A = this chain, B = another copy of it.
Amino acid sequence: MNFWKTLWRKYQGTSQVSNNTKNIHYHTIIQDFHYKNKKITIFLNTNKEINLYALEKLCDTVGWVRRPLKKVKLAIDNSLIIFSLFYTENKEKRLIAFARATSDNTFNATIWDVVVHPQFQRQGLGKILINEIINHLRSADINTITLFADPHVVKFYRDLGFISDPDEVKGMFWYPN
C-alpha cells in the first residue's frame, strides 16, 4: 500500500539510531530521560514485529486481563499502526509503552490498548505517544481520530485535544451478555 510506504519511509528517514540494516522502525524520542538515577534514551518504535511476551508483561503491570498471544498477534497484524516506546538496558529492548490504532486508512481511526508502564507514568510519555499517533494519522490525511476513554483518563485525552460527546454524539458498545 502506498500509504504504508509513505508512513514507513518518513519514519525510517528520521531514524537517529546507529544501525546499518534497512528495516529500522524506531528513532530517538527523548534523550536523557531520568530513570532510577540514570539517564536513558527512549525510542519510538513503529514496527508491528513487537515482542509479544514483553507486551504481555507490560499489560500485566497495569493489571489488564491476559489475552491469548495468538489473538494479540492477529489484532496487531490487522491494526493500521502499532506505536511503542522502549529503552535499552544491557543491549536488550525494554518495552515501556504501547498503543495501536485500527482504521479505514482514509476517514477514521480508532486508538486502542494504550498502556504506559507505571514506573514511567506521569512524565509525559503517554502524551508523546498519543501525539505521535495523531501526527502520523494526520500526515496520512486521516481526519477523525476516535477512542474510548476510561473515566480516569478522560482529562488526559481532553488535554491532548480530544472532545467527549461532541454535538452529543455518543460512544456506544455492544458486547455479549
CB within 8 Å of B: which residues of A? 67, 71-72, 74-76, 78-79, 100, 102-108, 110, 112, 134, 138, 143-151, 154, 157-158, 160-176
With A and B bound together, what is the CA distance between A105 and B70 in angstroms? 12
> Which of B67, B100, B171 is A148 in contact with, Cβ under 8 Å?
B171
Q: Which residues of B contact A164 (CB under 8 A)?
A: 170-173
Closest to A168 in B: B151
Contact between B74 and A105, CB atoms less than 8 A apart: yes
With A and B bound together, what is the CA distance between A162 and B173 in angstroms? 5
Closest to A172 in B: B162
Contact between B174 and A171, CB atoms less than 8 A apart: no
> Which of B76, B166, B174 is A161 in contact with, Cβ under 8 Å?
B174
Contact between B163 and A172, CB atoms less than 8 A apart: yes
Contact between B105 and A176, CB atoms less than 8 A apart: no
Name 18 interchain pairs, CB-CB below 8 A, sorted by A: A71-B106, A78-B106, A108-B110, A110-B110, A144-B175, A145-B173, A145-B175, A147-B171, A148-B169, A149-B169, A150-B168, A161-B174, A162-B173, A163-B173, A164-B172, A164-B173, A169-B171, A171-B171
Contact between B170 and A149, CB atoms less than 8 A apart: yes
Q: Which residues of B contact A165 (CB under 8 A)?
A: 170-171
With A and B bound together, what is the CA distance between A72 and B163 in angstroms? 25
Closest to A174 in B: B145
Min CB distance A32 to B, Å, is 30
Min CB distance A166 to B, Å, is 5
Contact between B162 and A148, CB atoms less than 8 A apart: no
